[in-house]
Amino acid sequence: CFLRLPPPTATLCMPRGPLAAVSVLLLYILTATMAFSPPYTSFPSSSHNHPGPPTVPPIPQRAFLSQPHHPHFPARAPGLTMKDGGDLSRTMRTNFETGCTLGARWRRSQLKALKRMVTENQETIFAALHQDLGKSAYEAELTETLLVVGEVNEALSCLDEWMRPELSTPTLSNAGGINLVSPEPLGAVLIIAPWNYPFYLVLGPLIGAIAAGNVAVLKPSEYAPATADLVAALVEKYLDRECFSVVLGGAEESKALLAQRWDKVFYTGGPAVGRAVARAAAEHLTPVSLELGGKNPAVVDASADASAAAKRIVWGAFLNAGQTCVRPDYVLCHSDVYDTVLSSIVKEIKKQYGQDPHASPDYGRAVRAHPAHAESVRSTVRACSPYIVHGGDVRASENYVSPTVLGYGSDRGAFEASPAMRGENFGPVLPVVAVPSLDEALDIIRAGEHPLAAYLFTGSWESRRRFASRV
- Given 139, 144, 253, 325, which residue is catalytic? 325
Closest CA to 426 of 376, 391, 368: 376
Catalytic residue among 123, 141, 222, 291: 291
Given a contact cutoff of 8 angstroms between Cβ atoms, the answer to whether 63 and 70 are in contact is yes
φ, ψ dihedrals at 95, nearest 5°: -65, -35
Q: Nearest CA to 113 among 70, 50, 22?
A: 50
Per DSSP, the chain holds a count of helices (H) and strands (E) of 17, 18
Amino acid at 466: R
123 is catalytic: no
Is there a contact between 420 and 429 (Cβ–Cβ < 8 Å)?
yes
How far apart CA 429 and CA 416 sit, in angstroms, is 15
What is the C-alpha to C-alpha distance for residues 24 and 425, in angstroms, rounded to an integer?
A: 61
**Beta strands 184-185 and 3-4: pairing type?**
antiparallel
Cβ–Cβ < 8 Å for 191, 223: no
Q: How far is CA 181 from CA 1, 101, 156, 327, 454, in A?
A: 15, 19, 21, 39, 36
Specify the 3-state DSSP secondary structure of 288: strand
What is the distance between the alpha carbons of residues 292 and 269, in angstroms, rounded to a whole number?
Answer: 5
Rounded CA-CA distance 272/74 in Å is 32
Which DSSP string do the residues of 49-90 spell out, in sequence order? ----SPP-PPPPSS--TTSSS-TTS-SS-S-B-HHHHSSHHH
Query: Distance between CA 336 and CA 338 in Å, rounded?
Result: 6
Q: How far apart are CA 306 and CA 301, in angstroms?
A: 9
Where b means 16+ CB within 10 Å and e means fewer, 107-116 reads bbbbbebbbb
β-bridge partners, 292: 269
Q: Which of 394, 304, 288 is nearest to 344 (CA)?
A: 304
Identify the three-state secondary structure at position 274: helix
Contacts of 357 (CB under 8 A, 6+ apart): 349, 363, 391, 393, 402, 403
Question: Would residue 291 show up in a list of annotated catalytic residues for this protein?
Answer: yes
361 CA to centre of own chain: 25
The residues annotated with a catalytic role in the active site are 291, 325
